[in-house]
Chain A
Amino acid sequence: MTKEIIVETKGLHKIYGSESLRVHALKGIDLEIKTGEMVAVMGPSGCGKTTLLNCLSGLDSINEGDVIIDNRPISSLNDNQMSEFRAKFMGFIFQTYNLLSVLTAQENVEMPLLVSGVKSSLAAEMAKNQLQEVGLLDWIDHKPDQLSGGQRQRVAIARALVNKPAIIWADEPTGNLDSSNEKEIMDLMARLNSEHNQTVVLVTHSDLVASYAHRIITMNDGVIVSSENIKK
């Protein structure tokens, strides 16, 4: 089965800061990610992993090169188009969950649906199903501060997955969790990835997390030093 390439970048450069204090965070990244692939990005702290993720997902601007997602160069999208693109095409998972503390689990999960124009009754239904899928049906009316770290991350995953995005970006999704929670979360992500054929790009320091991936990309000082497929 030949897979389509969903994310592609060539000669990607990212430079932070002003004239006086310049940080060359990405120094010419070439990368192709196929649909349904689960890619782990690893490397020492400060090597540019988060930067890479943000540039690929269009959250951050790029100094040189372009990112092409689903055959669309993201440089051709303006801010509003990019937002809409994110709403329909991508899901994000963060290390610190970043849930809205004032909304319930279900309302948090509904958010991306509402933003992309799904009717509210349908959105509620879909959110419930998604929360069931991550095993939180009993917790839908709870607010984030009434949930454990693992549960919160599962809500965040549900939020990232609920609009069936083609790509999921996860920056150290298990960074704040203990190892048993880490395993649970990764089992869940792996399962969803294979069931829905969604592309997952995750940044991690954990070998356990990386072991779930199809491919591990290793970075150092703003460049990719290796990219190896894992045979399962």
Chain B
Amino acid sequence: MEKLFGVQTDYLAYGSGIFASVMFLFLVFVAIRALVMFKIGARNLPRNPNQTVLIILGLMLSTTIIGASLGVGDTVTHSIRKVVFDGLGHTDQTIQPTGSRFFGEEFISGEQLEEIKQVIKLKTNNVDGVMSVVEIVLPAENLSNDRAEARMTLRGFNHSETYGFGKLFLLDGTEVNISSLGKNQLFLTGSAASTLSASSGDELRFYSTEGVHNFVVKGILKDGGLASGGSIKLAILNQLDMQNEFSLIDKFNQVILSNTGGIEGGQKYSEEITKNLRLAFSNADVSNEYFNLLNSEKIIDLLEKKIEINSENRSVSETDRETFVAYLQEIRKGMISDEFINLINDSGKRFLLISVLKELEDSLLIDKLLFLSRDLGQFEVVESKKDAIQFAEAIGSGTTTFLGLFGSFSIIVGILLIFLVMVLLSASRQTEMGMARAIGFKRHHLIQIFTLEGWLYAISSSLIGTLFGVAVSFTLVYLLQNAIGSDDFNISPHYTLTSLVITFSSGMILTLVTVIISSYRISNLNIIVAIRGLTEEMVKPPQIIWKDRFKNFLFAILWPVKVFKDLRKSSASVFRKIIRLIFSFFPPIWLWQIFKSIFSIFSPLYRQGWPLIILGVIASYYGIDLLQGTYFSIGISLIILGIGTFIRYIFSRNISISKIVNRIVASFEGLLLMIFWGSPFDTFEAWTGELETGVEIFILGGVAMVASSVWLIMNNTQIILWIFNFITGKTFSGLQAVFKTAVAYPINAKFRTGLTVSMFALIIFTLVINTVLSGLNNVGLNQPDRLTGGFDIQARLPKGFGIGDLKENIEDKGFSDKISIRVVAKSVNVPSLAKDSTNSESQFDDLSLKIVDQTYLDSNKFEFSHYDPKYGSNPRELWLSLKNDPNLAVLSNDVFESGDPFGPPREGFVIKDFSSDSGADEWTARQILFKPNTTSVDGIVVSRTVIGILDPLAEDFGNDWGSGPYMITSQDVMIDYLGKEIPFDTIYISLLDGDAKEIVPILEKIFIVSGLDAVDTIGQIENDAEAGESFNRLFQGFVGLGLLVGVAAIGVLSVRAVVERRKIIGTLRAIGYTSNMIQIQFLLEAIFVTVLGVFIGVGLGLLTSWNIFNSISDEVEGLTYVIPWANISILVAITVIFALITAFLPARQAAKIFPAEVLRNE
């Protein structure tokens, strides 16, 4: 991957690497300066090797999760890159006639070919191969065995041009040569040969609009070199022979260029070469005209607005922004430049600009720009390989970002574990630490000891964590292989050095920072209070000595002066003094001092709560003002916490009631925060207006809800005890004794328990949401007609082919016993531009026109999300209206903004003034105008009345124009709009009986002559669902890593509990506990903590998915909220079982404790 979170991975690697190294060196420095402390800290590692291993394992998990998400991203990138390299071979750039984008087939003539070659020779360096290509795609049949393929790619090469593009080898390794092909002979690549099951000597037949063409297979080629085609089924022919056979004399489809540097290395010249060629081919007059059109304040303003980084531009991707910046730079120059010509001749960038310019609502400008586009250059130069590689990069970093986003829960949980481990470590050292303080160690000595010890753990754990991360990513990738792997696309595990550096460094930074922070907390011996319970912390505010604080602040501003002053009195060596003085000038240290002193001035105020309230009010005001949901939510949370803190502060003087007040206030804080974050997404909309939120709100909300509910429960543990006593009161009293202690211990160790419960809750929360939501997708599988419209098979015909009456044809060919057809419907897509005539702001924008025949209107079973009741009250009636009145139409559901923060930015025609969550029958018919999308200069504008919006589930399997909004209307439109009847190219079949999966290959075979390409729609849906399911598994596996962290926490807690409670275990044995009861008690403790976390996680997960469901179900009718209890039970069972397994060993140890041994008086 080259980019992550919009930053170059190289920079991330350098940045994190340097930061980690600085931290590392700083600690080396500390270690050398405080060698004694380092030795004391380091001594602890070999002293208890088991514990050391456990700690390192605990600390490494965050690193592992980071490593795993990077590894998966790397692998995805690498795999797609491989596909690109396999498919393109040596081709780096492609030159094609400009018109082919607008008018379909257009060719390069022999004369032009010479011209192109000349230009390349004169204007470019580093091109080591130029080759003309003739290419057509045709249905093919192997006459030797009846195997057929609807889309066989035929490429004609000229042997004399092939230098630089590699060679051809037969499967057995012998080199062959295109000129060795006789008339009507060809080579097949491996994938083509296996599809047709062809071998040398087989006779192939191709069907074109002109007739049949027979060829003989001369040999089967090894992939690669000149035979690179990736997964496409490729036949390689002698160019001249091919041109003759298919009447393509003097016609070439494209010219391909190979750069020096081989298959992977050529890319670096691509930009330069492409630019030079675009300049050479460009039409100066048209370019100038283009520039003049763009050179306006209006456009500059618009582009300036687009490059701002704010919520409104959320859908503007990083690369788009770069493009806008480039345009802006060139336009601001005030005169046309080579750079500008390069930009507008890049069709992708040109279309991007035009699509943005639509916002100016100047349709004349757009029309002119589109019109001029055709004449910008004689040929279009495409950086084929670089574009494809960039796509690979985008997918790879997208995967990592997605995993990283959800992995952040696990990473947070991992950090909590590090914290927990450090706190427990200090608990086991309490006496030692007390002794150390007693014999004169200062607090910072303790910090040093812990930090340095933690440093050693951090180094080892980030190292091991990185290795584990690689291993885990490869395991996950194995799952991914099942998800998206196919014959055409293989996943090959990969890990880059950059990712290794990022993983190791960021893991070390995270671990070290957590270790340092916890060392600070630990060395403050009040931590003992914190371990026992969180609430007691705020009881006694320290005395405020304002004068000193301000004095410190002044000193901090003049930090080096203070150091100098202090050093004069100190007895340190001159060398040390100088070093310290130099260090004091070091900006981070200086700033840190200033920051610290400012914080210490204000810190007593934070305790009073009101600064938090003010901060909260500002944040929420800002949030409402800027429509930022995140700020608003943070603001409200701060206000709640601020009020709580304020009330605590007021009562803090009165010790007797402050404890009760603390508990009540804490409960209210927890409750309010939980209610706030857990309420439906649109609860506050009436008050705040619709706020924008990003994906971060999901993470923030999850953490906030979990934290607040744990806070609430941990402050009301009596209630849990009460419930437990109530339940267990009815059981055997022996068991009750065990229960009592099993619950009492965790409940009294609020801090540890709260932390561990939060870990489980966070992870289960994510998994439950995932499970519930992925269950929602299954609505498609339950009601397939809503997706397929009731059509079992959908088939497409290549341009120029027809099949006449399908049913009759089947009968004629004698297949009517195998295929029994109920209905055959037809359609054809015409790309168009459309505009909502009822909305004055609406601009012409892309909308594909799907023209359907009468049968389609009669027979389809698609439903509607919105409709005008005047035209019918059920889908059938609405379709009938459409049939009876050719002036009516319906729109696909993606004409609405989706509002999905994970979704891609939507493009094309949009309905602005109708909300997708309005009632189903609230739509009123409106006029939509449309016209052909090339240019309207000579086009006509037609209108249709839209009476409904399709169900969002309705799929358009054969839509060549990719996903995007479309409009369905009857075939009368052809005459009005296009002035002539055009042939249908898509066929929809609904079967009487029989299995579509089996019928599809038979159909394709029957109609091979027409190149019919059919899909079994239900099968397609099932495949998609299966792929989605596998991706879910990958996702769950990844998030499930977090469970491992929680389980590790249970293990650490159990081990610690056994150590701490040896004497009590002995006492219990003396009272009459059997060793079994002791073991059960420890296991129950583990279960209790786990189940508490699971319980919170499941509860909050269901609540959140219910909220998500509600906001989706407004738009997708027919969704039902089903709680997948089976899945959730499995999830809970797995979690509890793993926790039990982890707690088993420590519990056994506890059971084995020999009472007389531990009961001796110390």
The interface of chain A, by Cβ under 8 A from chain B, is 50, 54, 57, 59-61, 79-80, 83-84, 86-88, 90, 92, 94-96, 98, 100-103, 107, 110-121, 123, 159, 171-172, 175
Are A94 and B729 also in contact (CB < 8 A) when A102-B748, A103-B740, A159-B1071 are?
A: no
In the A-B complex, the 3 residue pairs with the smallest Cβ-Cβ separation, listed nearest first, are: A87-B1072, A60-B1156, A114-B737
Q: What chain B residues lie within 8 Å of A98 (beta carbons)? A: 1063-1064, 1066-1067, 1159
A84 and B733 contact, CB distance less than 8 A: no
Nearest B residue to A145 via CB reads B532
A94 and B1159 contact, CB distance less than 8 A: yes
A54 and B1156 contact, CB distance less than 8 A: yes
B1075 and A111 contact, CB distance less than 8 A: no
- B741: Cβ under 8 A from any A Cβ: yes
Q: Which of B748, B1072, B1162 contacts A112 (CB 8 A)?
A: B1072
Number of A-B pairs, beta carbon distance below 8 Å: 104
- B398: Cβ under 8 A from any A Cβ: no
User: Complex formed: what's the CA distance from A121 to B1161 in Å?
Assistant: 34
Nearest B residue to A85 via CB reads B1072
A80 and B1161 contact, CB distance less than 8 A: no
User: Complex formed: what's the CA distance from A101 to B531 in Å?
Assistant: 14
Within 709-758 of B, Cβ neighbours of A (below 8 Å) are at: 725, 729, 732-734, 736-737, 740-741, 744-745, 747-748
Q: Which of A59, A80, A107, A117 contacts B1070 (CB 8 A)?
A: A59
User: Complex formed: what's the CA distance from A80 to B1160 in Å?
Assistant: 22
Q: Which of A54, A59, A102, A119 contacts B741 (CB 8 A)?
A: A102
User: Complex formed: what's the CA distance from A113 to B748 in Å?
Assistant: 23
Of the A-B pairs whose beta carbons lie under 8 Å apart in the complex, a sample of 5, sorted by A's number, is A61-B1156, A83-B1075, A86-B1069, A94-B1159, A115-B734
Kindly provide the distance from the CB of A32 to the nearest chain B CB, expressed in whole angstroms.
22
Most buried by A among B1075, B1077, B1155: B1155
Q: What chain A residues lie within 8 Å of B1159 (beta carbons)? A: 54, 59, 94, 98, 171
Kindly provide the distance from the CB of B1069 to the nearest chain A CB, expressed in whole angstroms.
7
- B654: Cβ under 8 A from any A Cβ: no
User: Complex formed: what's the CA distance from A120 to B737 in Å?
Assistant: 9
Q: What chain A residues lie within 8 Å of B1068 (beta carbons)? A: 100, 111
B1161 and A118 contact, CB distance less than 8 A: no
Kindly provide the distance from the CB of B535 to the nearest chain A CB, expressed in whole angstroms.
16
Q: Contacts A88-B1072, A120-B729 known; list 14 others, CB within 8 Å.
A: A57-B1070, A59-B1155, A80-B1074, A83-B1075, A92-B1071, A96-B1063, A107-B740, A111-B740, A111-B1071, A114-B734, A115-B737, A115-B1071, A115-B1073, A117-B733
Q: What chain B residues lie within 8 Å of A120 (beta carbons)? A: 725, 729, 733, 736
Q: What chain B residues lie within 8 Å of A80 (beta carbons)? A: 1074-1076
Nearest A residue to B737 via CB reads A114
Kindly provide the distance from the CB of B1066 to the nearest chain A CB, expressed in whole angstroms.
8
The interface of chain B, by Cβ under 8 A from chain A, is 725, 729, 732-734, 736-737, 740-741, 744-745, 747-748, 1063-1064, 1066-1077, 1154-1156, 1159-1162
User: Complex formed: what's the CA distance from A102 to B1162 in Å?
Assistant: 21
Kindly provide the distance from the CB of A213 to the nearest chain B CB, expressed in whole angstroms.
20
Nearest B residue to A116 via CB reads B1072
User: Complex formed: what's the CA distance from A159 to B729 in Å?
Assistant: 20
Q: What chain B residues lie within 8 Å of A107 (beta carbons)? A: 740, 744
B734 and A117 contact, CB distance less than 8 A: yes
A50 and B734 contact, CB distance less than 8 A: no
Are A114 and B1156 also in contact (CB < 8 A) when A92-B1067, A94-B1161, A98-B1063 are?
A: no
Nearest B residue to A160 via CB reads B1071
Q: What chain A residues lie within 8 Å of B1071 (beta carbons)? A: 86-87, 92, 111-112, 115, 159
A83 and B1161 contact, CB distance less than 8 A: no
Q: What chain B residues lie within 8 Å of A159 (beta carbons)? A: 1071
Kindly provide the distance from the CB of B727 to the nearest chain A CB, expressed in whole angstroms.
12
B1161 and A171 contact, CB distance less than 8 A: yes
User: Complex formed: what's the CA distance from A123 to B1066 in Å?
Assistant: 22
Nearest B residue to A83 via CB reads B1074
User: Complex formed: what's the CA distance from A82 to B679 in Å?
Assistant: 57
A118 and B1073 contact, CB distance less than 8 A: no
Q: What chain B residues lie within 8 Å of A123 (beta carbons)? A: 733
Q: Which of B744, B1063, B1074, B1154 contacts A102 (CB 8 A)?
A: B744
Q: Which of A88, A96, A101, A119 contacts B1162 (CB 8 A)?
A: A96
Kindly provide the distance from the CB of B753 to the nearest chain A CB, expressed in whole angstroms.
12
Q: What chain A residues lie within 8 Å of B1063 (beta carbons)? A: 96, 98
A102 and B1072 contact, CB distance less than 8 A: no
Kindly provide the distance from the CB of B24 to the nearest chain A CB, expressed in whole angstroms.
42
User: Complex formed: what's the CA distance from A171 to B1156 in Å?
Assistant: 12
Q: What chain A residues lie within 8 Å of B1154 (beta carbons)? A: 60
Q: What chain B residues lie within 8 Å of A113 (beta carbons)? A: 733
B732 and A117 contact, CB distance less than 8 A: yes
User: Complex formed: what's the CA distance from A96 to B1064 in Å?
Assistant: 11
B1064 and A84 contact, CB distance less than 8 A: no
Kindly provide the distance from the CB of A177 to the nearest chain B CB, expressed in whole angstroms.
14
Are A102 and B1161 also in contact (CB < 8 A) when A59-B1156, A79-B1074, A83-B1069 are?
A: no
Q: Which of A94, A100, A103, A119 contacts B733 (CB 8 A)?
A: A119
A103 and B734 contact, CB distance less than 8 A: no
Most buried by A among B748, B1072, B1077: B1072
B744 and A84 contact, CB distance less than 8 A: no
Q: What chain A residues lie within 8 Å of B1070 (beta carbons)? A: 57, 59, 86, 90, 92
User: Complex formed: what's the CA distance from A79 to B1073 in Å?
Assistant: 10
Kindly provide the distance from the CB of A202 to the nearest chain B CB, expressed in whole angstroms.
14
Q: What chain B residues lie within 8 Å of A111 (beta carbons)? A: 737, 740, 1068, 1071
Kindly provide the distance from the CB of A164 to the nearest chain B CB, expressed in whole angstroms.
14
User: Complex formed: what's the CA distance from A100 to B1161 in Å?
Assistant: 16
Kindly provide the distance from the CB of A108 to the nearest chain B CB, expressed in whole angstroms.
10
Q: What chain A residues lie within 8 Å of B740 (beta carbons)? A: 103, 107, 111, 114
Kindly provide the distance from the CB of A89 to the nearest chain B CB, expressed in whole angstroms.
9
Nearest B residue to A171 via CB reads B1161
Kindly provide the distance from the CB of B742 to the nearest chain A CB, expressed in whole angstroms.
11
Nearest A residue to B1071 via CB reads A112
User: Complex formed: what's the CA distance from A180 to B361 in Å?
Assistant: 97
Q: What chain B residues lie within 8 Å of A96 (beta carbons)? A: 1063, 1161-1162
Q: What chain A residues lie within 8 Å of B1162 (beta carbons)? A: 96
B1155 and A100 contact, CB distance less than 8 A: no
B744 and A103 contact, CB distance less than 8 A: yes
Q: Which of A86, A92, A175 contacts B1161 (CB 8 A)?
A: A175
Are A114 and B1074 also in contact (CB < 8 A) when A94-B1161, A95-B1161, A102-B741 are?
A: no
Kindly provide the distance from the CB of B1082 to the nearest chain A CB, expressed in whole angstroms.
14
A114 and B1161 contact, CB distance less than 8 A: no
User: Complex formed: what's the CA distance from A110 to B737 in Å?
Assistant: 8
Q: Which of A84, A121, A175 contacts B1072 (CB 8 A)?
A: A84
User: Complex formed: what's the CA distance from A90 to B1072 in Å?
Assistant: 9
User: Complex formed: what's the CA distance from A54 to B1064 in Å?
Assistant: 16
Nearest A residue to B741 via CB reads A100
Kindly provide the distance from the CB of A111 to the nearest chain B CB, expressed in whole angstroms.
6
Most buried by A among B740, B1063, B1070, B1075: B1070
Q: Which of B1074, B1155, B1156 contacts A84 (CB 8 A)?
A: B1074
Q: What chain B residues lie within 8 Å of A114 (beta carbons)? A: 733-734, 736-737, 740
B744 and A100 contact, CB distance less than 8 A: yes
User: Complex formed: what's the CA distance from A95 to B1161 in Å?
Assistant: 7
Kindly provide the distance from the CB of B30 to the nearest chain A CB, expressed in whole angstroms.
38
Kindly provide the distance from the CB of A25 to the nearest chain B CB, expressed in whole angstroms.
11
User: Complex formed: what's the CA distance from A123 to B732 in Å?
Assistant: 12
Q: What chain B residues lie within 8 Å of A121 (beta carbons)? A: 729
Nearest A residue to B1074 via CB reads A83
Kindly provide the distance from the CB of B300 to the nearest chain A CB, expressed in whole angstroms.
71
Q: What chain A residues lie within 8 Å of B1069 (beta carbons)? A: 59, 83, 86
Kindly provide the distance from the CB of B1148 to the nearest chain A CB, expressed in whole angstroms.
14
A118 and B733 contact, CB distance less than 8 A: yes
Nearest A residue to B730 via CB reads A120
Q: What chain B residues lie within 8 Å of A61 (beta carbons)? A: 1156
Kindly provide the distance from the CB of A174 to the nearest chain B CB, expressed in whole angstroms.
12
Kindly provide the distance from the CB of A92 to the nearest chain B CB, expressed in whole angstroms.
4
